[in-house]
Amino acid sequence: MERQEAEAKLSSLLDAARKEAPIPFSPRDAERAMAVLLTTDDLWEAVRLSHAPMRFLCAFWNQMVKENLLEATDGRLRLTDTGRDFALALGISPAREAVCDTCEGRGVDFRKLFRETAERFIAICQNRPEAIQDYDQGYVTEATTLARIAFVWQRGDLEGKEVIVLGDDDLMSVAAALTGAPKRVLALDIDERLISFINEVAEREGLTNLQAIRHDLREPIPDEWLGAFDTFLCDPTESFVGFKAFVERGLLCLKGVGSAGYFGLTHVESSLDKWARIQKFILESGAVITDLRDDFSGYVNWGYIETMRSWDWLPTKIVPQKVWYCSALYRIELLCKPKVENKRLEGNIFEDEEAATT
């Protein structure tokens, strides 16, 4: 296939995908969608490696199937001979990974700070509540939670600090309290099961600095928590509205200049356009981004995958066996009093066009 012919075909594939997936994407996303097919035929591995929104990926792959460039059966994605010619004519190279095996690419060795406490955390997690779809839950691996807390510690946001966790199915509050480093850890969640679990752990393990309170984050933050914390941690739902709600609440809980916040953000459910909107919002709120480590967090596969929104989009359906849903870890730090409001949010804050797991 000639380059010119391939480019015309790509252009028509993108037009067709645009009709199915009304979200922002670029030819570079198409390149990412094809590069992974030169590396793996595993559907979920391809999603993970692509760093592109699932809604776009599925729309694009479905078009490729329609054009006989791709075979999608039994959870496998195989380029046809024409499909391979097409990718090569476009000059696309296989997706590569150079991730450090020791730290799973995070750059952080949590064992250096946690030592035997890591095992205690892992033991506690054996009895954790399962993730449920009602609250868009899905928790990270234990190594992820431990590495996050080690990272927070390393950045000086844990030891001697007052820490608030907004939504805590990842049990970050438990890992944080187990270190013995923070002055106080407060976990908020809408899910009674998590509140009971965390408070029971606190009592059983003698973690007097740890407390969990039920709170619906659509509600304004009560006065007593406003400006009361040095650090907030959260892993927001990724609709733009839902995301903003979590992070604004977090910012409102901070004491002020020099206080820090952490959150996760994926490519699965957020286009780079949404990333840019979120980054602008962060800067306009009076914070600076100090760290952005992509693929820091890996999520344990949750039980409701076959009823999530994106299941219907998949070109071939199979339940994932390995970690495929990952997120970037952001750290932000306040440079001034946060410029955000403490207002009530109405309705469904979990969905936008890019959302995939609701």
Q: Please report, as ranges, the residues that interact with a second copy according to CB under 8 A.
A: 26-29, 31-32, 35, 91-103, 105-110, 112-113, 150-151, 153-154, 156, 159-160, 181, 183, 257-259, 272-273, 275-276, 279-280, 283, 287-294, 333, 335
User: Of 65, 47, 55, which Cα lies nearest the Cα of 19?
Assistant: 55
Q: Which is nearer to a second copy, 149 or 194 (CB)?
A: 149
How many residues are present in the chain? 358
- How far apart are CB 317 and a second copy at their closest, in Å? 27
- How far apart are CB 295 and a second copy at their closest, in Å? 8
Q: Which is nearer to a second copy, 79 or 314 (CB)?
A: 79
- How far apart are CB 37 and a second copy at their closest, in Å? 13
Type of residue at 167: G
| CA gap 195, 57 in Å, rounded | 37
Q: Which is nearer to a second copy, 1 or 335 (CB)?
A: 335
- How far apart are CB 257 and a second copy at their closest, in Å? 5
Query: In whole angstroms, how far apart are CA 3 and each of 6, 8, 63, 85, 101?
Result: 5, 9, 19, 10, 38
Q: Is 233 helix (H, G, I), strand (E, B) or coil?
A: strand
- How far apart are CB 201 and a second copy at their closest, in Å? 23
Show Cβ contacts of residue 316 under 8 Å, excluding neighbours closer than 6 positions. 43, 72, 73, 74, 75, 76, 77
Q: Which structure tokens are listed for 233?
A: 């941690």
E strand or H helix at 294, and its extent?
strand 287-298
Q: Which is nearer to a second copy, 218 or 277 (CB)?
A: 277
Query: In whole angstroms, how far apart are CA 64 and each of 82, 102, 356?
Result: 10, 37, 20
| CA gap 59, 240 in Å, rounded | 21
User: Of 305, 286, 309, 288, which Cα lies nearest the Cα of 356?
Assistant: 309
- How far apart are CB 238 and a second copy at their closest, in Å? 15
Q: Which is nearer to a second copy, 308 or 326 (CB)?
A: 326
- How far apart are CB 10 and a second copy at their closest, in Å? 12
Reduced 3-state DSSP string for 198-228: HHHHHHHCCCCCEEEEECCCCCCCCHHHCCC
- Strand 76-79 relative to strand 231-234, pairing: unpaired
| CA gap 62, 144 in Å, rounded | 33
- How far apart are CB 293 and a second copy at their closest, in Å? 6
Q: Which is nearer to a second copy, 195 or 254 (CB)?
A: 254
Q: Which is nearer to a second copy, 67 or 294 (CB)?
A: 294
Q: Is 191 helix (H, G, I), strand (E, B) or coil?
A: coil
- How far apart are CB 203 and a second copy at their closest, in Å? 26
Q: Which is nearer to a second copy, 215 or 267 (CB)?
A: 267
Q: What angle do CA 334, 113, 247 make, to 5 degrees?
A: 25
Q: Which is nearer to a second copy, 28 or 214 (CB)?
A: 28
User: Of 179, 40, 52, which Cα lies nearest the Cα of 116?
Assistant: 179
